[in-house]
Amino acid sequence: MIICKLRQSFPNFATESNWADTQVCPYIFRFQQLNNRFQQLNNNQSTIKQLNMDLMQEIIANAQANKQRIVLPEGDEPRTLKAADRLLADGVADIILIGPAEKIKEMTAEFGLKNIGKARIIDPMNNPERQKYADLLFEIRKAKGMTPEQAYDLAGNFMYLGILLVKAGEADGLVSGARSTTGDMLRPALQIIKTVPSVSCVSGAFTMFLPEGCPYGTDGRMVFADCAVTPMPTAEQLAEIAICTADTAKAIAKIDPITAILSFSTKGSAKHEVVDKVIEATRIAKERRPDLVLDGELQADAAIVPSVGSSKAPGSPVAGKANTLVFPCLEVGNIAYKLVQRLAGAEAVGPVLQGLAKPCNDLSRGCSIDDVYKLVAITCNQAIAQKK
Protein backbone atom coordinates (compact mmCIF):
# COMPACT_ATOMS: atom_id res chain seq x y z
CA MET A 1 0.00 0.00 0.00
CA ILE A 2 2.62 2.52 1.11
CA ILE A 3 4.79 1.67 -1.87
CA CYS A 4 1.82 2.09 -4.30
CA LYS A 5 0.95 5.47 -2.83
CA LEU A 6 4.57 6.57 -3.10
CA ARG A 7 4.72 5.42 -6.71
CA GLN A 8 1.72 7.68 -7.48
CA SER A 9 3.28 10.65 -5.71
CA PHE A 10 6.83 10.06 -6.91
CA PRO A 11 6.81 8.42 -10.35
CA ASN A 12 10.55 7.86 -10.28
CA PHE A 13 10.42 5.99 -7.01
CA ALA A 14 10.22 2.50 -8.47
CA THR A 15 12.81 2.95 -11.20
CA GLU A 16 15.46 5.23 -9.73
CA SER A 17 16.37 3.62 -6.51
CA ASN A 18 19.35 5.92 -5.85
CA TRP A 19 17.15 8.91 -6.20
CA ALA A 20 14.58 7.39 -3.85
CA ASP A 21 17.30 6.30 -1.51
CA THR A 22 19.13 9.60 -1.20
CA GLN A 23 16.60 12.30 -2.06
CA VAL A 24 13.21 11.25 -0.78
CA CYS A 25 12.95 8.97 2.21
CA PRO A 26 15.59 6.37 2.93
CA TYR A 27 13.43 4.50 5.42
CA ILE A 28 10.70 3.94 2.82
CA PHE A 29 13.27 2.70 0.30
CA ARG A 30 14.45 0.29 2.97
CA PHE A 31 10.82 -0.72 3.49
CA GLN A 32 10.59 -1.52 -0.24
CA GLN A 33 13.71 -3.66 0.00
CA LEU A 34 12.28 -5.51 2.97
CA ASN A 35 8.95 -5.93 1.21
CA ASN A 36 10.70 -7.42 -1.85
CA ARG A 37 12.72 -9.72 0.40
CA PHE A 38 9.57 -10.78 2.20
CA GLN A 39 7.84 -11.63 -1.09
CA GLN A 40 10.97 -13.45 -2.24
CA LEU A 41 10.96 -15.50 0.97
CA ASN A 42 7.29 -16.40 0.46
CA ASN A 43 8.08 -17.53 -3.09
CA ASN A 44 11.12 -19.39 -1.80
CA GLN A 45 9.02 -21.28 0.67
CA SER A 46 6.54 -22.40 -1.96
CA THR A 47 9.31 -23.47 -4.35
CA ILE A 48 11.21 -25.33 -1.65
CA LYS A 49 7.95 -26.99 -0.66
CA GLN A 50 7.26 -28.01 -4.26
CA LEU A 51 10.76 -29.45 -4.76
CA ASN A 52 10.51 -31.27 -1.46
CA MET A 53 7.08 -32.63 -2.33
CA ASP A 54 8.17 -33.82 -5.79
CA LEU A 55 11.14 -35.68 -4.34
CA MET A 56 9.11 -37.14 -1.47
CA GLN A 57 6.39 -38.31 -3.86
CA GLU A 58 9.03 -40.10 -5.92
CA ILE A 59 10.46 -41.69 -2.76
CA ILE A 60 7.01 -42.77 -1.51
CA ALA A 61 6.04 -44.20 -4.92
CA ASN A 62 9.27 -46.21 -5.02
CA ALA A 63 8.58 -47.56 -1.51
CA GLN A 64 5.01 -48.52 -2.47
CA ALA A 65 6.23 -50.31 -5.59
CA ASN A 66 8.90 -52.31 -3.68
CA LYS A 67 7.33 -52.93 -0.27
CA GLN A 68 9.87 -53.22 2.58
CA ARG A 69 9.40 -54.30 6.21
CA ILE A 70 10.24 -51.53 8.65
CA VAL A 71 10.46 -51.96 12.40
CA LEU A 72 9.43 -49.10 14.68
CA PRO A 73 10.84 -49.88 18.14
CA GLU A 74 8.90 -47.03 19.75
CA GLY A 75 5.55 -48.62 18.86
CA ASP A 76 3.74 -47.08 21.82
CA GLU A 77 4.90 -43.55 21.03
CA PRO A 78 1.86 -41.55 19.79
CA ARG A 79 3.41 -39.87 16.69
CA THR A 80 5.06 -43.13 15.69
CA LEU A 81 1.82 -45.10 16.06
CA LYS A 82 -0.19 -42.53 14.09
CA ALA A 83 2.46 -42.48 11.34
CA ALA A 84 2.39 -46.31 11.26
CA ASP A 85 -1.36 -46.17 10.68
CA ARG A 86 -0.91 -43.81 7.72
CA LEU A 87 1.97 -45.83 6.28
CA LEU A 88 -0.14 -48.99 6.43
CA ALA A 89 -3.16 -47.21 4.93
CA ASP A 90 -1.03 -45.94 2.02
CA GLY A 91 0.79 -49.25 1.54
CA VAL A 92 4.20 -47.57 1.91
CA ALA A 93 5.72 -50.33 4.08
CA ASP A 94 4.91 -53.41 6.11
CA ILE A 95 5.25 -52.29 9.71
CA ILE A 96 6.51 -54.09 12.80
CA LEU A 97 5.68 -52.28 16.04
CA ILE A 98 7.60 -53.03 19.23
CA GLY A 99 5.95 -52.15 22.52
CA PRO A 100 3.51 -53.32 25.18
CA ALA A 101 0.75 -54.96 23.13
CA GLU A 102 -2.08 -53.94 25.49
CA LYS A 103 -0.99 -50.31 25.52
CA ILE A 104 -0.72 -50.25 21.72
CA LYS A 105 -4.25 -51.68 21.48
CA GLU A 106 -5.60 -49.04 23.88
CA MET A 107 -3.87 -46.21 22.00
CA THR A 108 -5.13 -47.56 18.68
CA ALA A 109 -8.70 -47.41 19.97
CA GLU A 110 -8.20 -44.00 21.61
CA PHE A 111 -6.80 -42.46 18.39
CA GLY A 112 -9.37 -44.24 16.20
CA LEU A 113 -6.65 -45.82 14.04
CA LYS A 114 -8.03 -48.21 11.46
CA ASN A 115 -4.94 -49.88 10.00
CA ILE A 116 -2.81 -50.97 12.96
CA GLY A 117 -4.37 -54.45 12.66
CA LYS A 118 -2.14 -54.95 9.58
CA ALA A 119 1.03 -54.44 11.65
CA ARG A 120 3.02 -57.16 13.38
CA ILE A 121 3.22 -56.23 17.06
CA ILE A 122 5.97 -57.62 19.28
CA ASP A 123 5.80 -57.09 23.02
CA PRO A 124 9.45 -57.23 24.12
CA MET A 125 8.67 -58.34 27.68
CA ASN A 126 6.21 -61.06 26.60
CA ASN A 127 7.95 -62.31 23.53
CA PRO A 128 7.88 -66.08 23.02
CA GLU A 129 10.93 -65.70 20.75
CA ARG A 130 13.01 -63.70 23.24
CA GLN A 131 15.53 -66.53 23.70
CA LYS A 132 16.07 -66.74 19.92
CA TYR A 133 17.08 -63.05 19.78
CA ALA A 134 19.14 -63.40 22.99
CA ASP A 135 21.09 -66.24 21.35
CA LEU A 136 21.68 -64.14 18.25
CA LEU A 137 22.90 -61.20 20.34
CA PHE A 138 25.13 -63.42 22.48
CA GLU A 139 26.69 -64.91 19.35
CA ILE A 140 27.48 -61.46 17.94
CA ARG A 141 28.76 -59.91 21.19
CA LYS A 142 30.36 -62.80 23.11
CA ALA A 143 33.83 -61.89 21.84
CA LYS A 144 33.26 -58.46 23.42
CA GLY A 145 32.53 -60.08 26.79
CA MET A 146 28.73 -60.24 26.74
CA THR A 147 27.26 -63.04 28.85
CA PRO A 148 24.13 -65.08 27.92
CA GLU A 149 22.28 -63.41 30.83
CA GLN A 150 23.15 -59.92 29.58
CA ALA A 151 22.05 -60.91 26.09
CA TYR A 152 18.71 -62.17 27.45
CA ASP A 153 18.17 -58.89 29.33
CA LEU A 154 18.95 -56.80 26.26
CA ALA A 155 16.67 -58.91 24.04
CA GLY A 156 13.85 -57.52 26.19
CA ASN A 157 14.88 -53.93 25.42
CA PHE A 158 12.76 -52.35 22.65
CA MET A 159 15.71 -50.79 20.79
CA TYR A 160 17.98 -53.86 20.92
CA LEU A 161 15.06 -56.05 19.85
CA GLY A 162 14.35 -53.76 16.89
CA ILE A 163 17.98 -53.84 15.81
CA LEU A 164 18.06 -57.65 16.26
CA LEU A 165 15.01 -58.02 14.00
CA VAL A 166 16.86 -56.10 11.30
CA LYS A 167 20.00 -58.19 11.86
CA ALA A 168 17.97 -61.42 11.67
CA GLY A 169 16.51 -60.33 8.31
CA GLU A 170 12.97 -60.12 9.70
CA ALA A 171 12.91 -56.38 8.99
CA ASP A 172 14.58 -54.47 6.14
CA GLY A 173 15.15 -51.32 8.16
CA LEU A 174 14.42 -49.43 11.37
CA VAL A 175 13.24 -45.95 12.28
CA SER A 176 13.28 -44.62 15.84
CA GLY A 177 14.11 -41.51 17.81
CA ALA A 178 10.78 -39.81 18.59
CA ARG A 179 11.54 -40.66 22.22
CA SER A 180 15.18 -41.85 22.24
CA THR A 181 18.50 -40.05 21.66
CA THR A 182 20.76 -40.56 18.62
CA GLY A 183 23.23 -42.52 20.77
CA ASP A 184 20.48 -44.87 22.10
CA MET A 185 19.90 -46.14 18.58
CA LEU A 186 23.38 -45.72 17.12
CA ARG A 187 25.25 -47.79 19.70
CA PRO A 188 23.24 -51.04 19.28
CA ALA A 189 23.13 -50.47 15.50
CA LEU A 190 26.90 -50.10 15.36
CA GLN A 191 27.43 -53.09 17.68
CA ILE A 192 24.98 -55.48 16.01
CA ILE A 193 24.26 -54.49 12.43
CA LYS A 194 27.70 -53.02 11.85
CA THR A 195 28.82 -51.50 8.57
CA VAL A 196 28.74 -52.70 4.98
CA PRO A 197 31.98 -54.57 4.21
CA SER A 198 33.55 -51.72 2.23
CA VAL A 199 32.89 -49.14 4.98
CA SER A 200 34.24 -48.87 8.52
CA CYS A 201 32.68 -45.58 9.42
CA VAL A 202 28.99 -44.67 9.68
CA SER A 203 27.99 -41.08 8.92
CA GLY A 204 24.89 -38.93 8.54
CA ALA A 205 23.86 -36.95 5.43
CA PHE A 206 21.33 -34.15 5.00
CA THR A 207 19.57 -33.22 1.78
CA MET A 208 19.47 -29.41 1.75
CA PHE A 209 16.59 -27.83 -0.18
CA LEU A 210 17.93 -24.43 -1.18
CA PRO A 211 15.92 -21.20 -1.43
CA GLU A 212 14.58 -19.99 -4.79
CA GLY A 213 17.12 -18.00 -6.73
CA CYS A 214 20.05 -19.70 -5.04
CA PRO A 215 22.42 -20.44 -7.92
CA TYR A 216 24.06 -23.45 -6.26
CA GLY A 217 23.31 -27.15 -6.19
CA THR A 218 21.23 -29.19 -8.64
CA ASP A 219 17.45 -28.80 -8.91
CA GLY A 220 17.57 -26.70 -5.74
CA ARG A 221 19.30 -29.45 -3.77
CA MET A 222 22.66 -30.18 -2.19
CA VAL A 223 23.80 -32.99 0.08
CA PHE A 224 25.94 -32.35 3.19
CA ALA A 225 27.82 -34.93 5.32
CA ASP A 226 28.94 -35.95 7.90
CA CYS A 227 26.65 -33.84 10.03
CA ALA A 228 25.62 -36.46 12.60
CA VAL A 229 27.92 -39.32 13.61
CA THR A 230 31.73 -39.45 13.47
CA PRO A 231 33.38 -36.67 15.48
CA MET A 232 36.93 -36.86 14.10
CA PRO A 233 37.31 -39.11 11.04
CA THR A 234 40.69 -40.32 9.84
CA ALA A 235 41.67 -39.78 6.18
CA GLU A 236 40.50 -43.31 5.41
CA GLN A 237 37.16 -42.70 7.14
CA LEU A 238 36.73 -39.33 5.45
CA ALA A 239 37.22 -41.02 2.07
CA GLU A 240 34.50 -43.52 3.00
CA ILE A 241 32.18 -40.71 4.10
CA ALA A 242 32.73 -38.97 0.74
CA ILE A 243 31.94 -42.15 -1.21
CA CYS A 244 28.84 -42.94 0.88
CA THR A 245 27.64 -39.35 0.53
CA ALA A 246 27.96 -39.41 -3.24
CA ASP A 247 25.93 -42.64 -3.27
CA THR A 248 23.30 -41.10 -0.96
CA ALA A 249 23.07 -38.03 -3.20
CA LYS A 250 22.25 -40.32 -6.12
CA ALA A 251 19.93 -42.75 -4.29
CA ILE A 252 18.05 -40.40 -1.96
CA ALA A 253 18.43 -36.78 -3.15
CA LYS A 254 18.17 -38.00 -6.77
CA ILE A 255 20.98 -35.79 -8.08
CA ASP A 256 24.11 -36.74 -10.04
CA PRO A 257 26.74 -36.15 -7.36
CA ILE A 258 29.59 -33.70 -7.93
CA THR A 259 31.47 -34.19 -4.68
CA ALA A 260 33.86 -31.78 -2.96
CA ILE A 261 35.87 -32.67 0.12
CA LEU A 262 36.14 -29.34 1.87
CA SER A 263 38.95 -27.64 3.75
CA PHE A 264 40.24 -24.17 4.54
CA SER A 265 42.77 -24.75 1.74
CA THR A 266 42.35 -25.05 -2.03
CA LYS A 267 44.92 -27.14 -3.90
CA GLY A 268 47.83 -26.41 -1.60
CA SER A 269 47.02 -22.81 -0.69
CA ALA A 270 47.53 -23.61 3.01
CA LYS A 271 49.73 -26.14 4.82
CA HIS A 272 48.55 -27.95 7.93
CA GLU A 273 48.14 -31.53 9.10
CA VAL A 274 44.32 -31.26 8.88
CA VAL A 275 44.68 -30.17 5.25
CA ASP A 276 46.97 -33.16 4.65
CA LYS A 277 44.17 -35.38 5.96
CA VAL A 278 41.72 -33.97 3.38
CA ILE A 279 44.30 -34.36 0.58
CA GLU A 280 44.87 -37.99 1.58
CA ALA A 281 41.12 -38.65 1.87
CA THR A 282 40.63 -37.26 -1.65
CA ARG A 283 43.40 -39.52 -2.98
CA ILE A 284 41.87 -42.61 -1.36
CA ALA A 285 38.32 -41.80 -2.50
CA LYS A 286 39.44 -41.20 -6.10
CA GLU A 287 41.44 -44.43 -6.11
CA ARG A 288 38.51 -46.46 -4.72
CA ARG A 289 35.81 -44.93 -6.84
CA PRO A 290 37.25 -43.58 -10.09
CA ASP A 291 33.67 -43.46 -11.43
CA LEU A 292 32.78 -40.58 -9.08
CA VAL A 293 33.13 -36.90 -9.98
CA LEU A 294 35.02 -35.99 -6.80
CA ASP A 295 37.78 -33.60 -5.82
CA GLY A 296 39.52 -31.93 -2.85
CA GLU A 297 40.92 -30.20 -1.04
CA LEU A 298 38.64 -27.28 -1.86
CA GLN A 299 37.43 -24.27 0.09
CA ALA A 300 33.66 -23.87 0.15
CA ASP A 301 33.67 -20.94 -2.29
CA ALA A 302 36.05 -22.72 -4.69
CA ALA A 303 33.75 -25.74 -4.54
CA ILE A 304 30.48 -23.99 -5.39
CA VAL A 305 31.18 -20.60 -7.06
CA PRO A 306 32.20 -21.04 -10.73
CA SER A 307 34.38 -17.89 -10.94
CA VAL A 308 36.23 -18.72 -7.70
CA GLY A 309 36.54 -22.39 -8.67
CA SER A 310 38.11 -21.62 -12.04
CA SER A 311 40.60 -19.17 -10.56
CA LYS A 312 41.57 -21.20 -7.47
CA ALA A 313 41.36 -24.73 -8.89
CA PRO A 314 41.56 -24.53 -12.69
CA GLY A 315 41.04 -27.90 -14.34
CA SER A 316 39.18 -29.42 -11.38
CA PRO A 317 36.09 -31.33 -12.55
CA VAL A 318 34.32 -30.30 -9.34
CA ALA A 319 35.42 -26.74 -8.49
CA GLY A 320 32.58 -24.27 -9.01
CA LYS A 321 30.03 -27.04 -9.60
CA ALA A 322 29.85 -29.09 -6.40
CA ASN A 323 26.40 -30.22 -5.22
CA THR A 324 27.64 -32.71 -2.60
CA LEU A 325 29.75 -31.28 0.22
CA VAL A 326 31.84 -33.45 2.54
CA PHE A 327 33.11 -31.72 5.66
CA PRO A 328 36.47 -32.53 7.27
CA CYS A 329 34.92 -33.37 10.67
CA LEU A 330 31.57 -33.59 12.48
CA GLU A 331 31.92 -30.20 14.18
CA VAL A 332 32.21 -28.43 10.83
CA GLY A 333 29.44 -30.49 9.19
CA ASN A 334 26.96 -30.10 12.02
CA ILE A 335 27.59 -26.35 12.35
CA ALA A 336 27.51 -25.80 8.57
CA TYR A 337 24.17 -27.50 7.96
CA LYS A 338 22.51 -25.64 10.85
CA LEU A 339 23.86 -22.28 9.64
CA VAL A 340 22.75 -22.87 6.05
CA GLN A 341 19.35 -23.92 7.38
CA ARG A 342 18.97 -20.85 9.58
CA LEU A 343 20.79 -18.10 7.67
CA ALA A 344 19.98 -19.09 4.09
CA GLY A 345 16.50 -20.48 4.80
CA ALA A 346 17.33 -23.90 3.37
CA GLU A 347 15.27 -26.89 4.44
CA ALA A 348 17.41 -29.72 5.87
CA VAL A 349 16.02 -33.25 5.50
CA GLY A 350 17.88 -35.94 7.43
CA PRO A 351 20.14 -37.18 8.77
CA VAL A 352 20.07 -40.32 6.68
CA LEU A 353 22.58 -42.72 8.21
CA GLN A 354 24.98 -44.13 5.64
CA GLY A 355 27.43 -47.03 5.80
CA LEU A 356 25.34 -49.32 8.04
CA ALA A 357 24.87 -52.81 6.64
CA LYS A 358 21.08 -52.32 6.92
CA PRO A 359 19.29 -48.96 7.03
CA CYS A 360 18.47 -47.60 10.49
CA ASN A 361 17.52 -43.96 10.86
CA ASP A 362 17.11 -41.57 13.71
CA LEU A 363 14.31 -39.03 14.16
CA SER A 364 14.55 -35.80 16.07
CA ARG A 365 12.67 -35.96 19.36
CA GLY A 366 10.71 -32.92 18.16
CA CYS A 367 9.54 -34.81 15.07
CA SER A 368 6.02 -34.67 13.63
CA ILE A 369 3.88 -37.57 12.38
CA ASP A 370 4.83 -36.44 8.89
CA ASP A 371 8.55 -36.66 9.72
CA VAL A 372 8.12 -40.27 10.87
CA TYR A 373 6.18 -41.09 7.70
CA LYS A 374 8.82 -39.51 5.44
CA LEU A 375 11.76 -41.11 7.24
CA VAL A 376 10.16 -44.55 6.93
CA ALA A 377 9.72 -43.96 3.17
CA ILE A 378 13.37 -42.83 2.90
CA THR A 379 14.50 -45.89 4.89
CA CYS A 380 12.57 -48.11 2.45
CA ASN A 381 14.41 -46.43 -0.43
CA GLN A 382 17.76 -47.07 1.25
CA ALA A 383 16.82 -50.74 1.73
CA ILE A 384 15.76 -51.01 -1.91
CA ALA A 385 19.00 -49.37 -3.08
CA GLN A 386 21.13 -51.63 -0.85
CA LYS A 387 19.43 -54.76 -2.19
CA LYS A 388 20.20 -53.64 -5.74
Binding site for ligand ACO (CB under 6 A): 144, 182-183, 186-187, 190-191, 195, 201-202, 227-231, 334, 351
Q: Which is nearer to ligand ACO, 227 or 300 (CB)?
A: 227
Q: Going by C-beta distance under 8 Å and a sequence separation of 6 or more, which residues neighbour residue 106?
A: none
Q: Which is nearer to ligand ACO, 118 or 179 (CB)?
A: 179
Q: Which is nearer to ligand ACO, 188 or 320 (CB)?
A: 188
Nearest distance in Å: CB 336, ligand ACO: 12
Task: Give the residue at shortest CB distance from ligand ACO.
Answer: 190
Task: Pick the closest to residue 286 from 261, 323, 264 (CA basis).
Answer: 261
Q: Which is nearer to ligand ACO, 3 or 348 (CB)?
A: 348
Q: Which is nearer to ligand ACO, 67 or 187 (CB)?
A: 187
Nearest distance in Å: CB 195, ligand ACO: 5
Nearest distance in Å: CB 16, ligand ACO: 48
Q: Going by C-beta distance under 8 Å and a sequence separation of 6 or more, which residues neighbour residue 370?
A: 83
Phi-psi region of 316 (alpha: psi -120 to 50; beta: other; left: phi over 0): beta
Strands 221-225 and 203-209: antiparallel
Q: Which is nearer to ligand ACO, 173 or 320 (CB)?
A: 173
Q: Which is nearer to ligand ACO, 20 or 193 (CB)?
A: 193
Rounded CA separation 244/354 (Å): 6
Nearest distance in Å: CB 353, ligand ACO: 10
Nearest distance in Å: CB 66, ligand ACO: 27
Nearest distance in Å: CB 238, ligand ACO: 12
Is the preceding peptide bond at 215 cis, omega within 30 degrees of 0?
Answer: no
Nearest distance in Å: CB 228, ligand ACO: 4
